[in-house]
Homo-oligomer: A and B are copies of this chain.
Amino acid sequence: MADENFFAMALEEARKGFEVGGIPIGAVLVSKDGQILGKGCNKRVQDGSVTKHGEMSAFEASAPGTGLPPPASVYKGATMYTTLLPCVMCTGACLLYGIGRVVYGSGADQNLKFDTVKILKSYGVETVCVGDGESEEMMAKWVRENPKRYEREPWAEG
Complex interface: chain B residues within 8 A of A149 (CB): 68
The answer to whether A66 and B92 touch across the interface, beta carbons within 8 angstroms, is: no
A87 at the interface (CB under 8 A from B): yes
Cβ contacts A107-139/B at 8 Å (1 or 0 each): 000010010000000010000000000000000
Q: How far apart are A6's CB and chain B's nearest CB, in angstroms? A: 19
A72 at the interface (CB under 8 A from B): yes
The answer to whether A48 and B72 touch across the interface, beta carbons within 8 angstroms, is: no
A3 at the interface (CB under 8 A from B): no
A36 at the interface (CB under 8 A from B): no
The answer to whether B63 and A50 touch across the interface, beta carbons within 8 angstroms, is: yes
The answer to whether B48 and A62 touch across the interface, beta carbons within 8 angstroms, is: no
The listed residue (B68, B91, B152) touching A72 by CB distance below 8 A is B152
The answer to whether A60 and B69 touch across the interface, beta carbons within 8 angstroms, is: no
The listed residue (B51, B87, B91, B96) touching A87 by CB distance below 8 A is B96
The listed residue (B49, B59, B63, B67) touching A69 by CB distance below 8 A is B49
Task: With CB as the reference atom, state the residue of chain B lying closest to A44.
Answer: B69
A157 at the interface (CB under 8 A from B): yes
The answer to whether B92 and A154 touch across the interface, beta carbons within 8 angstroms, is: no
A93 at the interface (CB under 8 A from B): yes
A34 at the interface (CB under 8 A from B): no
Give the top 6 A-B pairs by smallest Cβ distance, nearest first: A92-B92, A89-B92, A72-B154, A71-B152, A89-B93, A89-B96
